[in-house]
Structure 1
Amino acid sequence: MVKGKNILLAVSGGIAAFKAAALTSKFVQAGANVKVIMTQSSKEFVTPLTFQALSRQSVYEDTFTEPDPTKIAHIDVADWADVVLVAPATANVIAKLAHGISDDMLTTTLLATTAPIYLAPAMNVNMYAKPVVQRNIMTLKEDGYIVIDGGEGYLACGWTGKGRMAEPEDLLKILHKHFQQDTGRLTGKKVVITAGPTQERIDPVRFFTNHSSGKMGYALAQAVKEYGGQVTLISGPTSLTPPAGVKVVNVESAEEMYEAVMNHFDQADIVIKAAAVADYRPKETFDQKRKKQPGEWSIEMERTMDILKTLGEQKSSQLLVGFAAESEQVEMYARNKLESKNLDLIVANNILQEGAGFKSDTNIIMTIASDGTKKEYPMLSKDEVAYRILDDIISYAQRRDVL
């Protein structure tokens, strides 16, 4: 999918710059046109000649170097790009971009381009975890930058943890996906996605909930939008910012989520039930805060409405996708849920497996379709997992000649 596409690779000053050289080679081998911008500090790790030889193009190093008097270099290359990838994206470059600073060829070009910009952060685990870095990353996401979370592992500084840049093979796959979106694989399709936890009220200050962050559902909403679909995101309470252009319905309780889903179900082509909905709620609630009293406090619970089962019973032409977050016998429970709730496809994961639980930025999943097709995936960022899930849904729809 990258063949013939113009990819602008922006390399900043981190040890992961050596991966950018391998990435350049992979892009060229895949048939892409690649131009490289380097910061001054990145040249301390890899020489411009390396990228020139691999890309077969001149390397951009200095805003004030204008080899062609008929063009302004940073505007010309900004207009040339179909997509921009900053790899590695250091904490310094992330901070500059988040605050609109343009003091070198890289940052000036990125401010001038209208192409989609992907960032592949790479830095020490402690730097990555700093609140200011996370704030800057969140700012860039809100501004439309697409951040590619790296994996956890051994870092050049000797630490082990998050901050490792995504591997060249994974970055190539992500850009393949990016250009695949041009085909509009879900154009005109209405997709309802549920995300996040529910909160079941006890009194004005207390409620029962779970550890769901909503990250998987929000990643799915973004992926569906990029595949051309019309998204309705029904979200329980989260701290996440919804993707731009997505219709959001905010709910709190399982009952509210049931009502919202049913209100949108008839018009949906696909329903993806990624929310972690409470199975039980307090049978009795209190209008005033219940005061502390001597002895124990027992709360009687009652079942909530089984939203997924109800959808399975009432669906007509809709494709229905569920999730099975299990702690044991994952595949067995997932297959039981697939059949008992009349699903078309189920996404299963082991919540106790490292890198796959609630609140994580990554996931490790298997998908099982009602026609018996099963796929297993390694640990990937939830953004990448979202595309894999959508690809499996679309493949199933094609096999069944629906959608």
Structure 2
Amino acid sequence: MEPLTLSEPQPSPQNSLPTPQKTYHVLVGVTGSVAALKLPILVSELLEIPGLKVRVVTTERAKHFYNPQEIPVTLYSDTEEWQLWKGRTDPVLHIDLRRWADLMLVAPLDANTLAKIANGICDNLLEFVLEDISLLRIDLGSKGGSSTTMQLLPWSICSLPVCSDGSPAPHGTVVQTC
């Protein structure tokens, strides 16, 4: 009896056809730090990776550090957030960007933006997107003014009113929070 040897399976000709590659959407956030100078390089390098589509969300302060004409992808800022929305049935840009993105990278993340996010403050498009990104989508229905995904983030959950049994309090209930 011949000894059994394990070898790597060889691809058959019908199995060597190119397989379709999944496309991943990367949303790059950029804040007002001198490191924002590197945004054109970062975006160019990301675009060299097969299967990646890139969009950029910028703060107004970040625009000081790079030339928007050097960014070869769609660039969003506060202006687009407010121009797109005119009424209740219009799309909301920060929600659409959150739905589009498979991954979000913020580079650079300045201390001011980090502090605002940590304290639940959002007053620009980038912070709206960051506040809205979450893997959990549960309708708690009790915290008006923020989307349901915003309610579940660690920095937002402390401000969510709860009843003594731990369930969400009805909207408008005033209770002591964290």
The TM tier, using the shorter chain, reads: 0.5 to 0.7
Which AA in structure 2 matches 1:66? L
Q: Quote the Cα distance in structure 2 between the aligned partners of 1:90 and 1:67.
A: 28
| 1:74–1:105 contact (8 Å) kept in structure 2 | yes
Relative contact order higher in (CA < 8 Å, ≥ 6 apart): 2
The residue aligned with 2:130 is 110
Query: How far did residue 47 of structure 1 move?
Result: 2.8
Contact 2:39 2:66 in 1 (8 A): no
Question: Equivalent residue of 1:88, what SS?
Answer: coil
More strand by share: 1
User: Could you report, residue by residue, the CA deviation over 1:366-388 in whole angstroms, capped at 9, with x for unpaired residues?
Assistant: xxxxxxxxxxxxxxxxxxxxxxx
Match of 1:61 among 68, 77, 93: 77
Q: Alignment partner for residue 45 of structure 1, among 41, 62, 65?
A: 65
Question: Which amino acid in the other structure matches residue 45 of structure 2?
Answer: K
The runs of 4+ residues in structure 1 deviating greater than 4 Å are 67-70
Q: Equivalents in 1 of 2:69, 2:90: separation in Å?
A: 25
Q: Using a 3 Å threshold, how does the CA distance of structure 1 residues 96 and 5 change in structure 2: closer, same or farther?
A: same
Q: Which residue among 79, 83, 96 is the counterpart of 2:103?
A: 83
3-state secondary structure, aligned to 2:108:
strand
Q: Is the 8 A contact 1:3 1:30 kept in 2?
A: no
Question: Would you say how many aligned residue pairs link Structure 1 and Structure 2?
Answer: 114
Which structure 2 residues correspond to residues 4-403 of structure 1 after superposition, within 5 A? 4-31=23-50, 32-51=52-71, 53=72, 55=73, 57=74, 59-62=75-78, 63-66=81-84, 70-114=90-134, 143=154
The Cα shift of 1:15 comes to 1.0
Could you tell me the percent identity over the aligned residues? 32
Q: Kindly provide the amino acid, as one letter, of the partner of residue 84 in structure 1.
A: M
Secondary structure in structure 2 of the residue aligned to 1:16 = helix
Distance of 1:72 and 1:33 partners within structure 2: 21
How much has 1:49 moved relative to structure 2? 2.7
8 A Cα contact 2:84 2:90, kept in partner: no
Whole-Å Cα distance in 2 between the matches of residues 61 and 97 of structure 1? 17
The alpha carbon displacement at 1:72 in A equals 1.2
Q: Structure 2 regions of 5+ residues with no counterpart?
A: 1-20, 137-152, 156-178
Question: 1:65–1:50: structure 2 CA closer, same or farther, 3 Å change rule?
Answer: farther
CA RMSD of aligned residues (A): 2.7
Bigger Rg, which one:
1
